[in-house]
Amino acid sequence: MQGYRKGLTNYGDPDFSAFIRGAYARGFGLTEEDLERPIIGIAQTWSELNPCHRNLREVAEAVKRGVWQAGGLPLEFPTISLGEIYLSPTAMLFRNLLSMDTEEMISGQPLDGVVLLGGCDKTLPAQLMGAASAGVPALTVTAGPMIGGRFDGKKLGACSDCRGMWNEFRGGAMDEETLEQVQGELFPSAGHCMVMGTASTMASLTEALGMMLPGLAAIPAVNSRRLRMAEESGRRIVAMVTESLTPERIMTREAFENAIRILMAVGGSTNAVVHLPAIAGRLGVDLPLSLFDDLSRTTPLIANLRPSGAEYLMEDLAEAGGIPAVMKELEPLLNGGAMTATGKTVSENLASVPRAKGWQDVILPREKPLAPEGGIVVLQGSLAPEGAVIKVSASSPDKLTHTGKAVVFASQEDMINRIDDPDLGATAESVFVLQNTGPVGGPGFPEAGFLPIPKKLLEAGVRDIVRVSDARMSGTAGGTTVLHVSPEAAVGGPLALVRDGDEIRLDVPDRKLDLLVDEKEMARRRAEWRPPAPPYRRGYRGLFLEHVLQAPEGCDFDFLQKTTVPREK
Ligand code: FES
């Protein structure tokens, strides 16, 4: 069954249900001819509380043109939107809510296919999770990255420069007037953050997974090519319905391996190490942390993009050929047989893509990469028995093997209250530990892992420190920052037992993160440990704390993963 007769509302009489639905469709101005067409839903996340999605209404109109051209009936519908900067305590708390909204609105409404419109950090993974569970053909069209800002003759990249310049201001190297001028230049257009932060990473990986037309991820939001490709996506989704090209057929284990390779090659966000297992989990595909590390060791970092690289932004990547050019460079490492939304395999898509000649500053040849291994490394050890991650490509090379004494903050509040205390017993060699900021403890797994450098160290010229936490970090941030320590402190992981002055050893080449405290002392501390009181009990937030999985499992809800609870018909 296809079109508006699909999934009838239950009034106890299916014929009546079809009749009344047809009547209401006519009330919308649709004709019988329209209703014979396959219905393509357009899941819209435009919102005035999400500036990264400012252009999505225009994008939706372009998608609709394509759907009409190909013989479909486009119907736009709203879902919740997650604007990273506007949601409290953190947008991540609501990623699973958007995924549930997306899944249920796709499967509860008479849709034959769906185009997912998103962009800001959490929206793309949430929409892919929902579409994967709903199981109808789906295609993503993103808002696209902003163009770069300009200040004092330099290109600005949001939000890497937001953080860098804030540090300059905190350290006294920038005055308030200059900071205000910078604030006005950081976001010069519609679109999501334009460095290789989480939004650009997830757009790139959506393309690498095969769930978006090739070349779209990097095109700036304001470039008309984006609208033309949105129109093409509208045409393509109608064909995908005919071909029954569902997310399950595209997002296979091979496709996820390709996406992880691209994550490593572009120096993408550590947040992808949480989002990819969550999407895969909806399809019963297991992506252990060890797979990320294995692929990282054998994938060169070839995209010279901020924050991992020196200067380039997404607009430069688009000029250099975009993600297809990155994939072409890595082709010998990719699973070429993986199916994509074009109806062709990765190899077939890449057959007509030239290697990125002439732009070798942005996409480097695989033989002469920026770094021989990927940008993200997985750590394990007595402090992180179930794993932790670090973005080496954005870390200080001299801190990747480091032993230092812990300066411990029991919570974000504790950190905010004490970080600039002149009496804080911290030096440039300290290891700054933040507890209780994981999925449960945060609550909601906030991007709090990038601890600010204490003012007294900033004033002394220190520009990086070693940080360890169970939190996440914005993909736009840099610095030597160990994240996602699992199990998190709030569920009794060893991180909860670290005390001021303990020695912590970080050994990135050996993939180790160890707390150098003997087992007898750890047992004593463990016996004393009590879990923090849950901050929420009711509603969605209560549900989140009760059912959220740990970081290595993607922080999805236990009851949404396919292997745990398959979807009922
Ligand atoms: Fe939306 Fe950066 S805040 S992408």
Could you report the per-residue pLDDT of 455-496, keeping only the tens digit for each?
A: 999 889 998 999 999 999 987 777 899 999 999 999 999 999
- CB-based contact 307:476 (threshold 8 Å): yes
Query: What's the pLDDT at 2?
Result: 80
- Interval 322-366: pLDDT, tens: 999 999 999 999 999 999 999 999 999 999 998 876 566 899 999
Residue 541 lies in a domain: no
**Closest Cα to atom 3, ligand 1: which residue?**
84
Query: What's the pLDDT at 158?
Result: 81
| Torsion sign (Cα): 438, 441, 444, 449 | negative
Ligand 1 atom with least separation from CA of 119: 4
More confident residue, 354 or 529: 529
- CB-based contact 102:140 (threshold 8 Å): no
Between the CA of 119 and the centroid of ligand 1 the distance, in Å, is 8
Band of residue 318 on the pLDDT scale cut at 50, 70, 90 = very high
Residue 10 lies in a domain: no
563 pLDDT above the threshold of 90: no
- Interval 143-169: pLDDT, tens: 999 999 888 888 888 877 887 888 788
Between the CA of 151 and the centroid of ligand 1 the distance, in Å, is 20
Say how far apart CA 319 and CA 349 lie, in whole Å: 19
Ligand 1 atom with least separation from CA of 52: 1
Between the CA of 368 and the centroid of ligand 1 the distance, in Å, is 31
Residue 335 lies in a domain: yes
Residues 139, 155, single domain; the answer is: no
85 pLDDT above the threshold of 80: yes
Q: Angle, to 10 degrees, between the axis of helix 253-265 and the axis of helix 322-330?
A: 100
Between the CA of 179 and the centroid of ligand 1 the distance, in Å, is 20
Residues 424, 504, single domain; the answer is: yes
Between the CA of 94 and the centroid of ligand 1 the distance, in Å, is 15
Best mutation site among 98, 193, 195 for ligand 1 pocket (most ligand atoms within 8 Å of CB) = 193
Ligand 1 atom with least separation from CA of 85: 3
Residues 124, 157, single domain; the answer is: no
Between the CA of 287 and the centroid of ligand 1 the distance, in Å, is 26
Between the CA of 457 and the centroid of ligand 1 the distance, in Å, is 29
List the domain range (segments joined by +) for residue 483.
Answer: 377-532
Tokens of 44: 């819209």
Residues 332, 466, single domain; the answer is: no
Query: What's the pLDDT at 151?
Result: 86
Residues 398, 497, single domain; the answer is: yes
Tally the residues of the chain: 569
**Mean pLDDT across 4-25:** 92
Q: Which of 116, 205, 221 is nearest to 158 (CA)?
A: 221
Between the CA of 424 and the centroid of ligand 1 the distance, in Å, is 33
CA 439 to chain centre: 15
Residues 401, 270, single domain; the answer is: no
Least confident span in 28-32, 201-205, 250-254, 485-489: 28-32
Best mutation site among 45, 49, 52, 271 for ligand 1 pocket (most ligand atoms within 8 Å of CB) = 52
**CATH code for the domain of 510:** 3.50.30.80
More confident residue, 308 or 17: 17
Best mutation site among 53, 56, 120, 206 for ligand 1 pocket (most ligand atoms within 8 Å of CB) = 120
Residues 231, 289, single domain; the answer is: yes
Query: What's the pLDDT at 561?
Result: 92
Between the CA of 143 and the centroid of ligand 1 the distance, in Å, is 11
Ligand 1 atom with least separation from CA of 192: 4
Residue 550 lies in a domain: no
Best mutation site among 50, 84, 94 for ligand 1 pocket (most ligand atoms within 8 Å of CB) = 84
**Closest Cα to atom 2, ligand 1: which residue?**
193
The DSSP annotation for 514-535 comes to EE---HHHHHHHHHH--PPPPS
Ligand 1 atom with least separation from CA of 51: 1
- CB-based contact 276:268 (threshold 8 Å): no
> How confident is the prediction for the chain on average, in pLDDT?
94
Pairing of strands 39-44, 466-469: unpaired
Between the CA of 82 and the centroid of ligand 1 the distance, in Å, is 10
**Mean pLDDT across 498-505:** 98
Least confident span in 131-145, 221-235, 352-366, 520-534: 352-366
Band of residue 315 on the pLDDT scale cut at 50, 70, 90 = very high
Residues 172, 85, single domain; the answer is: no
Between the CA of 192 and the centroid of ligand 1 the distance, in Å, is 5
Pocket of ligand 1 (CB under 6 A): 52, 84-85, 120-121, 192-193, 197, 199
Between the CA of 121 and the centroid of ligand 1 the distance, in Å, is 6
Residues 88, 229, single domain; the answer is: yes
CA 400 to each of CA 221, 375, 390, 512: distance values in angstroms, whole numbers, following the listed order: 36, 13, 10, 10
- The residue among 158, 183, 208 that closes a domain is 183
**Mean pLDDT across 92-100:** 98
Residues 140, 154, single domain; the answer is: no
Query: What's the pLDDT at 112?
Result: 97
Q: Would you put residue 396 in left (φ > 0), alpha (ψ -120 to 50) or beta?
A: beta
Residues 179, 197, single domain; the answer is: no
Percent of the chain with pLDDT over 90: 85
Residue 289 lies in a domain: yes
Query: What's the pLDDT at 357?
Result: 67
Between the CA of 367 and the centroid of ligand 1 the distance, in Å, is 33
Query: What's the pLDDT at 359?
Result: 60
**Mean pLDDT across 279-283:** 97
Ligand 1 atom with least separation from CA of 158: 2
Ligand 1 atom with least separation from CA of 474: 2
Residues 294, 278, single domain; the answer is: yes
Ligand 1 atom with least separation from CA of 50: 1
The number of distinct structural domains making up the chain is: 3
Residue 558 lies in a domain: no
**Closest Cα to atom 1, ligand 1: which residue?**
120
